[in-house]
Structure 1
């Protein structure tokens, strides 16, 4: 079963190469005379939803498959603020969805234990990473859903990780589990029992709570997303801070991330401490591959949340809020939410070295390239989560606190809308396709809803012609 999951993972990842060809053509000129979005027009192809909830293209529909506050099969409530998700093939048309929840100990309205944590005393605190001395438990963690794609119904949902803080994004592993990331570096003290800022692993199979064991060797910082190389099992990580770094974790035992390993930070060869954000000047140009080197970093559990500061001083490149990340065929892609002159977002591509992670890597280093940079919020306004569509296009979610879309970028470089949230100013999170490619799952975070979007995906781009 592990080998089957790995093969499926590689097949899904391989489509990324075609999709990201488009990004190389999506930069905007300062004049805005010919923008990628201008090729299709604002929201062209989306039909107004009579319910004023989610606009979609003709022939598409959405279904709310889970709502915060609903009773789950384990007797707990669906927590609020759903974020990153992974979708796994369970066989016979069943999909396992592991869903993050970006919650801190407060507000309590997002708690799985009741609006005032009134059911907390009925829960085994030993199964929580941080029970908060029974007063301020971590309300992040993950829930797992078993979804029947044929009937469009959730057959089971339950809490699968408890007691963590602000589980934002994460990533799927080739062996069939979800790596969930804490975007929080709260220190232990008072009613806070443990330090936070870690990655946890959640298997997709087997109902019930996972043992909440942090993978400490992967570092303590504001984790956002991860992507796992299906061959080497090297884990790449983004950091959601305005001065964050890109990290690489080389496991000692590729079958056990808990066995330790080396944590490294990405640097640009011959450009020490390069600032890639392009805020004050155009330091990084589009489609200009730069040789990369990876620097070892020590004291990965520093209580001072200073890995990014020490890494930058050591020579690592700096990025503007690293967020969504996806692994392709020998390529890695990630979004920086507020990079670029207007702080509207960037997308980078990293091409792996043929000798990635080995002593021979320096002979033929990996290369980093700025693929897309939005200079106008009318194109991509603060891209966050990203994934790849079955037909090869890039799919991006916006998080701008205003009008949020899901966008596609096709192989001709045209940006087209897939969905628009009309119900609220909430970001759309966790976009991921089912293994069959028939369903796109996404969360409307502040609404507390998880959606399944279906339709004639093969005809989605017809309105572009």
Structure 2
């Protein structure tokens, strides 16, 4: 793959963690391979059951059904994002239950003390992933047939349904402020990769839904085809455009510097969409690891750090968050012990890049009512 042109953290717009350029593109290279982590080996599990590199610590910030700042944290925590809030920040997290769903938020002050917790979306279905918008909103996506995207306010204002963004089995979303579009993944075995082109940037009430069109190969060039009926009835959106590229279970999605990375759980791949030249390729494929056992399986949510590392959460696998470095090395960053019936969800960094939030969706119980949301603090590369 093309060596990734990664980004340093910055805060833009209304306070979403975003990124700016640090590295320059390099030569073509193979998909990422097993190698030593820049953070070193994982230590024994701490009191929270988290195995971390030296210098890192974890704490539990919320548990499903238990009170946090006077609010009962939701079940099955899933996709999440961090928004700057003055000297503090807000972590927004989806709830992947049906019915009920929705999303909640934790507010932190400058000392990382939780000062508030509250609902930002209610009455929806199976809210899985989503994406942070540069204008300070969280898109919460329904992972159900003909599901909706909801634009929510991390500060607790009213949420708005956005049907123009298409009705399908939504997973993740990511904003591209350069092209002023939103990318979207679809979590079905023959799903597609979409972009929504708003009529006006920052206003998702109207626009055009398009789908990536390419051949069946794992790399090559692509075009965008307009979906005639974003409502997806009677013909589902993925079947409306001839030649639409199929992806096996689209999951997490991250945009930075003319590139979108997304995962597909059906084949344990991380895809790289190069938007400057309209090409796509594999950033990682567990079947193409040639030097030992594949360290990353069950790919799911994904985020990027200020140093340029991708952090990919596992649904199953070894219950790890693995990193893929700018040098195309993949290695475990952390492992959750004693929770094999769960999955890791919602990884997101604070604006300063020194704290990582994530959840174990079903915790130690294996039930959606047993979710645990964590914070990891330490010397992240910046």
| In the alignment, structure 1 residue 349 sits paired with structure 2 residue 272 | yes
1:310 is displaced (CA, Å) by 2.9
State whether residues 23 and 371 of structure 1, in contact with CA within 8 Å, keep that contact through their aligned partners in structure 2.
no
CA distance in 2, matches of 1:171, 1:22: 30
After TM superposition, where is structure 1 displaced by more than 6 Å over at least 4 residues in a row? 20-23
Q: Find 1:424's aligned residue among 339, 348, 352.
A: 339
Q: Determine the structure 2 residue equivalent to 1:5.
A: 12
Distance 2:283 2:11 in 1: 32
Structure having the larger proportion of residues in helix: 1
Q: Secondary structure at 1:57's aligned position in 2?
A: coil
SS in 2 for 1:408: strand
Instruction: Give how far 1:305 is off.
Output: 6.5
Structure-2 change in CA distance of 1:441 and 1:149 (3 Å)? farther
- Aligned match of 1:191: none
Q: Give the drift of 1:337.
A: 1.6
Distance 1:252 1:26 in 2: 36
Deviation at 1:175, TM superposition (A): 0.6
Structure 1 residues 11-410: aligned runs within 5 Å: 12-14=18-20, 24-27=29-32, 36-37=33-34, 39-40=35-36, 45-51=41-47, 53-71=49-67, 77-92=72-87, 94-105=88-99, 139-150=100-111, 152-185=112-145, 197-205=147-155, 207=156, 210-211=158-159, 213-258=160-205, 260-268=206-214, 271=215, 274=216, 283-284=217-218, 288=219, 290-304=220-234, 306-311=236-241, 314-339=242-267, 345-353=268-276, 366-375=278-287, 378-400=294-316, 402-410=317-325
Contact (CA 8 Å) 1:26, 1:414: kept in 2 or not? no
Contact 1:22 1:410 in 2 (8 A): no
Gaps of at least 5 residues in structure 2 are 1-9, 364-370
Q: Once the 2 structures are TM-superposed, how far is the Cα of residue 403 of structure 1 from its aligned partner? A: 2.1
Shift of 1:86: 0.9
- TM-score scaled by structure 2? 0.87
Compute the displacement of 1:180 (Å).
0.7
SS at match of 1:308: helix
**Mapped partners of 2:151, 2:275: distance in 1:** 25
Distance of 1:217 and 1:182 partners within structure 2: 14
Q: CA deviation at 1:304?
A: 4.5
Asked if 1 retains the 8 angstrom alpha-carbon contact of 2:82 and 2:90, the reply is: yes
Measured on the aligned residues, the alpha-carbon RMSD in Å equals: 2.6
Structure ID, larger Rg: 1
CA contact (8 A) 2:83 2:90 kept: yes
Runs of 5+ in structure 1 lacking a partner?
28-35, 106-138, 186-195, 275-282, 340-344, 354-364, 460-465
The residue number in structure 2 matching 1:130 is none
The Cα of 1:231 is off from its aligned counterpart by 3.4
Q: Distance in 2 between matches of 1:147 and 1:79?
A: 18
Deviation per residue, 1:67-105 (Å, 9 max, x gap): 1112355x652111101111011112x101111111112
Cα distance, 1:411 vs. partner? 2.7
Distance 1:415 1:21, change over 3 A: farther
Shift in CA distance, 435/292, structure 1 to aligned 2, threshold 3 Å: same
What's the TM-score, normalizing by structure 1? 0.72
Q: Distance in 2 between matches of 1:21 and 1:222?
A: 36
Shift in alpha-carbon separation, 1:17–1:317, aligned structure 2, 3 A: farther
Distance 1:305 1:76, change over 3 A: farther
- Give the deviation of 1:318 after TM superposition: 0.5
| Distance in 1, Cα, partners of 2:196 & 2:152 | 18
Please say if residues 180 and 202 of structure 1, whose CA atoms lie closer than 8 Å, have aligned partners that are also in contact: yes
Residues 445 and 411 of structure 1, relative CA distance in 2, 3 Å threshold: same
Question: Displacement, 1:239?
Answer: 0.2
Aligned mates of 2:22, 2:184 — CA distance in 1 = 18
Kindly tell me the number of residue pairs found equivalent between the two proteins: 360
Contact map agreement 1:15 1:390 (CA 8 A) in 2: no
